[in-house]
Amino acid sequence: TFREHLVMAGNHTQIEFILLGITDRPCAQTPLFVFFLLIYIVTLVGNVGIITLVRVSPSLHTPMYFFLTQFAFVDICYSTVISPRMLADLLSEDKTISFTACMMQFFTFAFFGISECHLLAMMAYDRHVAICQPLLYVTIISSRVCWQLVASSYLFAFLSAIAYTWSVFGGSFCGPNRIDHFFCDEVPVLKLVCSDTHSSETVIFAFLTINEVGTGMVILLSYISIIRTVLRMCSAQSRAKAFHTCASHLMVVSIFFGTGLFMYLQPSSSHRSLDKVASIFYTAVTPMLNPFIYSLRNKEVKGALIKCVRRLFSW
């Protein structure tokens, strides 16, 4: 039966959902709690470390690393929206979540997820200008332009998240209240809607196409232009250096968009339990990996880190 608690404030009905979580096996919950807690701690330390390193290293005060700090900030928020609640549910028998809390979790998750798409597209555009138009780089990617691009991405993500959330939670909930997931995601929530969800799914698909496919096309076109420019370079060393600066970004793009497209651009009828594994990967594992991908494959970041460590030990 569907659990409803009437609140004495007009005709407002407070609905509660039950998150079924990652697993229902008690023996697996404590090991999973420890595992995901470690992932979350490493995510926070890694991304805060990237932000701090860029702030204290004058050599990293460039548009490329400005976008990287914004990306690290979004990764922290993106992971924090999901992980604390997931960790709490692994140790708690009461896995209920109110309608408002569920909707807000989904909204913030959508906001930061869409922001990541746009930031990845901006980082690709930044690399495109740096490699294809190096003499105009300082003029085109100025500090003002960087802030305008980031602000516009957050604004568009905010508006998209509102429409996206309304499409998921705007229907009538009058049946089962068990969400077969560890957070309030689109597919498991829509399964509980009693009214027709065709129009909602159309709106969701349209927004996902605009955001994921749209930003994906910006990234693809940027890299096509980069590859054409790099192949025209006479020096093999210059070509290797250009490809090396793009390698980290390409790896992050592949992981983020690969799992995202698998989850959200397939028919709802084809979703299976494998989706939980994919969700864990892009909500918990990917934000943890990103700072390591950028730091371990980037000579400038490694150089700045070594300088900071030497400075600390010299004190």
Partners of residue 233 on adjacent β-strands: none
**Rounded average pLDDT over 182-205:** 84
Range with lowest mean pLDDT among 46-55, 74-83, 210-219: 210-219
Is 252:294 a contact under the CB 8 Å cutoff?
yes
- Assess whether pLDDT exceeds 50 at residue 87: yes
Q: Between vectors from CA 187 to CA 209 and to CA 285, what angle results, nearest 5°? A: 80
- pLDDT at position 83 over 70: yes
pLDDT(7) > 80: no
Domain 4-314 has CATH 1.20.1070.10: yes
Domains of the chain, residue spans = 4-314
What is the percentage of the chain residues whose pLDDT exceeds 70? 89
Mean pLDDT of the chain: 83
Tens digit of each residue's pLDDT (9 = 90 or more) over 250-280: 888 887 777 766 665 555 555 555 677 778 8
Question: Structure pTM?
Answer: 0.86
For residue 58, pLDDT over 80 is answered with yes
pLDDT tens, position by position, 133-181? 888 998 999 999 999 999 999 999 999 999 999 988 888 887 778 998 8
Across the range 35-63, mean pLDDT stands at 91
Q: What is the C-alpha separation between 2 and 203, in angstroms, rounded?
A: 27
